[in-house]
Structure 1
């Protein structure tokens, strides 16, 4: 694979090759040969697994499915393990699931293709999410009434896991000053009438933002079961696969998986339904893998979280037992898969390198208490801070192409990038609740993700109406999250943002920080800063702090060697800001040239100020 060379006028385009199956002879069988039936009430788990196991044993080239609707009822869903040079041809069939476990598990397969089928949850057995609308609020703030217009009768034991604000007219995720509510905050929930429940509120929390008529996506499932769990595969293709819904992520990729692709896959709401969600979590979640993947010509929409999240997990803080042994807290094996031989790099609390990488000798897990004890092969320096951040360098989810996709109308970000060496081009982002593209790294009590991002080219994308509830204050956002705040260490390097069109964002178009050698060139920015200025009291827990700090339509801070050139801003409506802002105390060597449509005072003063520095 070619690295992006930013020292040349035109960046090279990477080439990731996914090998096709190799067949000496072509034998195929049908799932119906093993007892599968496209009949209502039929339990197809055993028949499908018999067919899959036979294909592995006999080195069958293709397993076919005659077109039909196949129910899966008992939870023992298909597992494809260790198949090579294999094709699963769904033939346009639908597979319907009603048990909370992964729909398809595909692991340790090599040169395999899965194509042409639909998966869905059986909503008759229980909805994954519902539309909820605030009917009334108690004068003393002790409760509110929530109506579920889709129901004649509210189901018994209706779980309210989260309430995510939505636009009551378009019924899409997010709205101006919308706020999310975690169901853990609620008290008793009582049925008041056929489709109205009363939710008691704790006295110590403020719910002043609740308004009569406000509409919410009420999730009953979140991260409960994924549609496809892809682990440790090589040269895998998922093609023309449609996911109407799942009680978790659509695609999850982990482990030693590399060289894989999603082609013409769709995550969409089933047509002809009143559903407010497709999958209840991410569209595609890439975590602790080996990278090298392509996502092309796909449609991801109405997800309960990010459309695409690419990251590897870190962890901050440890307790030292002796010179070679430490204990980590708030860790889980699936999230932080430490193992013998893994090289662990230690970073300072500002994400700068500590200059220490040590391999693991052994790991002892205490999953119940979310602890693990790690013994290293060599001693750790005595002066190493116990608040250091640990990167497991066994994993690297970098090297990717994300091209010609439609990411739209989802709860969180369009693309969340924690890994580098990537090409993001010709995508369409529309009505993403959060940023269209978020480049991030950080460590704190809630999250610890990313090892930094280098060599990414973002070009020729169309971004419309994103960051709809001011989630991150910019539709292209680059920043860290750390307990002590932002860092001047450039954890983001060699990033190009070129030839993109950004239309109608409530606050900034682009914000870049903790970075070096970022090129923002030839972008069209239309009606940026079109919303009211948001303050800390307006938002929800996902929004960045100190929102009144953000200034201008395009802003950089905690950075050096930044090039902002040939960008054009056009406004047809009144906006709250129209300039390029360079944070003076944290930015050095910022070059501005030939930018038009921005307030002149910033562009006129910056070059003089830079020379003075």
Structure 2
């Protein structure tokens, strides 16, 4: 084992270089030459794959698609693997999928471009989500009737996975103090009429919030199949691609994925439909990767989860087998991809450094029990607690630019950031159910994500009407989740929140904690704290466990070296709070300078 030092050196944010394909001679191939046809009922999987394989074998420069609508059946979907100096031009075509399997796999490719096409799920083969409306609630809340207005007759086998609150007027995700719940709360489901189900509840006391007229996004798929899986590519560019829907994430990036970009991509509901969702999970989910990416001029909307989620996975707790071997539980090979040679850093329960790292010499998985055994090259010092949190330092999904995007009308957060060295600028956030920007790190039984965030610039963004459900009590939220609660350790360091315009948030504009060297300045705050105060009677399904922890319009706690300056707050409606609140019991060296409009 080696001892490590805490590095507080600032890293400047620069443009990310992505290399384009290099061609000595240009060779273009068409999928039509391999039998691809824009024809109803015809499966294009074999034709497309034959064309792709030919391009790889012959080192073709470009594969083109004549404009049309191409369908894929039986899980025979395009797979691009090991492509070098290659471009795929969809020619404005649409690709329609009807099998729950990744639509496009792009793996181990170098200097490639994918552009100019649209992908969609075939909703005739099964809806990804439906609008559901509460018609009747039993007086003793033992059941409620859920009506599905889109159907002439709801299928008997409709898979009700989650119910996510939506605004019945705008039919978009979220409504004030809206609640979410899952099928595990149901005792049984029975048909009442052609498009209404009666749902019996296991714990009626937990559902006092139900009322006739409440409307929900009822998801039938969640994390089932992604539109794009991007694995271990270098210098990849995806441009002018539209995703109308998919039964999972739109873009999933992982592995040795680095130096890549999404530009002018859209995740939107198909026009002319009554769909209540685009993709059923995240717009872009980046995990256990090597970072260095850009997302620019994109439109992500109506996602079933976050528009953008950037994180690497940790795990907390282990059992010593001997001085070099430990056993881990609640781990999955895809979520915690431990491998030979990976460097593991041990952290204390409060996320502070132990000062110890070790290199993996052996990994043995027991997938049946979601556990694995790690053997290290050198002994683990006895001082390392079995409650320690493990960071796999092979991965760092940081170093990113998120610029000029529109993130809106999605079920969860606009951007969820667990990685640092980032620039988030000139984006528009609108009607996101959760925080517009959530900066987070933590470990618990459900999930453990993030290694901390340092060197992050959030500037020149417009944040309008976010945190619709009062999800995390602030439209820009910075905090940890740990078994023992907030930590004094500054897991967030060197964060600039500057020159943003924040409009119409139900609770706080900014909450900052477990941080140091944070600069909140030159922001315009209009109509903050304009929603009803959340109380214990409203429950904690949206993650707010202690309402009393959140006070004021802007708040800092568990922090050191924070500057709040030159911010202006303006209110034209009644608000519940109007001041800056500093928890001085947990904070030091907080500077408040030249702020206007706060009491």
Post-superposition offset of 1:441 = 0.2
Partner of 1:606: none
In 1, Cα distance between equivalents of 2:76 and 2:232: 21
Q: Are 1:177 and 1:539, in contact at CA under 8 Å, matched by a contact in 2?
A: no
In 1, Cα distance between equivalents of 2:491 and 2:346: 14
In 2, Cα distance between equivalents of 1:106 and 1:597: 51
What SS does the corresponding residue of 2:56 show, helix, strand or coil?
helix
Post-superposition offset of 1:204 = 6.5
Deviations 1:441-475 (A, max 9, x none): 00001110000000000000000000001000000
Partner of 1:222: 222
Partner of 1:285: 285
Partner of 1:398: 398
Aligned residues: 592
Partner of 1:361: 361
Name stretches of at least 5 consecutive residues in structure 2 with no aligned partner.
1-7
Partner of 1:274: 274
What SS does the corresponding residue of 1:541 show, helix, strand or coil?
coil
What SS does the corresponding residue of 1:187 show, helix, strand or coil?
strand
Deviations 1:538-574 (A, max 9, x none): 1443322102321000000000000001000000001
- Mapping 1:537-552, distance limit 5 Å: 537-552=537-552
Post-superposition offset of 1:156 = 2.1
In 2, Cα distance between equivalents of 1:589 and 1:13: 26
Farther off after superposition, 280-289 or 70-79: 70-79
Partner of 1:317: 317
Partner of 1:474: 474
- Say if 2:387 is the partner of 1:426: no
Q: Are 1:533 and 1:548, in contact at CA under 8 Å, matched by a contact in 2?
A: no
Q: Are 1:293 and 1:399, in contact at CA under 8 Å, matched by a contact in 2?
A: yes
Deviations 1:31-77 (A, max 9, x none): 01111111000011111100000000000000000000001011021
In 1, Cα distance between equivalents of 2:435 and 2:588: 26
Q: TM-score, normalised by structure 1?
A: 0.96
In 2, Cα distance between equivalents of 1:222 and 1:191: 24
In 1, Cα distance between equivalents of 2:479 and 2:557: 9
CA RMSD in angstroms, aligned pairs only? 1.1
Farther off after superposition, 282-291 or 319-328: 319-328
| Structure 1 residues 306 and 203, CA gap change in structure 2 (3 angstroms) | closer
In 1, Cα distance between equivalents of 2:545 and 2:140: 29
Q: TM-score, normalised by structure 2?
A: 0.98
- Mapping 1:525-564, distance limit 5 Å: 525-564=525-564
Partner of 1:128: 128
Q: Are 2:506 and 2:528, in contact at CA under 8 Å, matched by a contact in 1?
A: yes
In 2, Cα distance between equivalents of 1:129 and 1:486: 36
Q: Are 1:14 and 1:423, in contact at CA under 8 Å, matched by a contact in 2?
A: no
Partner of 2:296: 296
Post-superposition offset of 1:12 = 6.0
- Mapping 1:472-511, distance limit 5 Å: 472-511=472-511
What SS does the corresponding residue of 2:54 show, helix, strand or coil?
helix
Partner of 2:65: 65
Post-superposition offset of 1:155 = 1.1
Post-superposition offset of 1:203 = 3.5
Partner of 1:22: 22
What SS does the corresponding residue of 2:517 show, helix, strand or coil?
strand
- Mapping 1:113-152, distance limit 5 Å: 113-152=113-152
In 2, Cα distance between equivalents of 1:516 and 1:19: 36
What SS does the corresponding residue of 2:51 show, helix, strand or coil?
helix
Partner of 2:4: none
In 2, Cα distance between equivalents of 1:494 and 1:108: 34
Partner of 2:165: 165
In 1, Cα distance between equivalents of 2:359 and 2:542: 35
Partner of 1:174: 174
Post-superposition offset of 1:383 = 2.4
Post-superposition offset of 1:205 = 5.0
Partner of 2:450: 450
What SS does the corresponding residue of 2:541 show, helix, strand or coil?
coil
Partner of 1:345: 345
Post-superposition offset of 1:314 = 0.2
What SS does the corresponding residue of 1:80 show, helix, strand or coil?
strand
What SS does the corresponding residue of 2:206 show, helix, strand or coil?
coil
Partner of 2:255: 255
